[in-house]
Amino acid sequence: MKLHAQPINVVSILGNDYSLKAPEGQEETLSQAVRMLNAALAETKRSYPTLIGDKLLVLAALNLCSKQIELQREHAQTLERTQAQIDATVDAISRTIGDQ
């Protein structure tokens, strides 16, 4: 059995190049993540122009994590609302069938 070597992707973050291996089929996800991180770094740098290096990276990462938590909460609320609507529909159908 021949193993396929994962290609090495060179990405640039804060002016530094990093050689990363993405699992097969995940190269585009890595590329999108790098673009998202670089955008978050640029946004954070605009808000806090004196930050550099690790401090800038940590603050940008915290901002991204905060956004992720907000999205997870919104997703959970959407699921709860959808489940409540489904339950109400099933109850209405059950009542309709029961009335016949």
Give pTM, 2 decimals.
0.71
* pLDDT tens over the chain, length 100 residues: 455 566 788 999 988 999 998 888 888 999 999 999 999 999 999 999 999 999 999 999 999 999 999 999 999 999 999 999 999 999 999 988 887 7
pLDDT at residue 51, as a whole number: 92
Q: How far apart are CA 71 and CA 59, in angstroms?
A: 18
pLDDT at residue 9, as a whole number: 86
pLDDT at residue 55, as a whole number: 94
**Which one, of 7, 5, 3, 12, lies nearest residue 42 by Cα?**
12
The answer for residues whose C-beta is within 8 angstroms of residue 24's C-beta and 6 or more apart is 4, 6
pLDDT at residue 22, as a whole number: 86
pLDDT at residue 4, as a whole number: 59
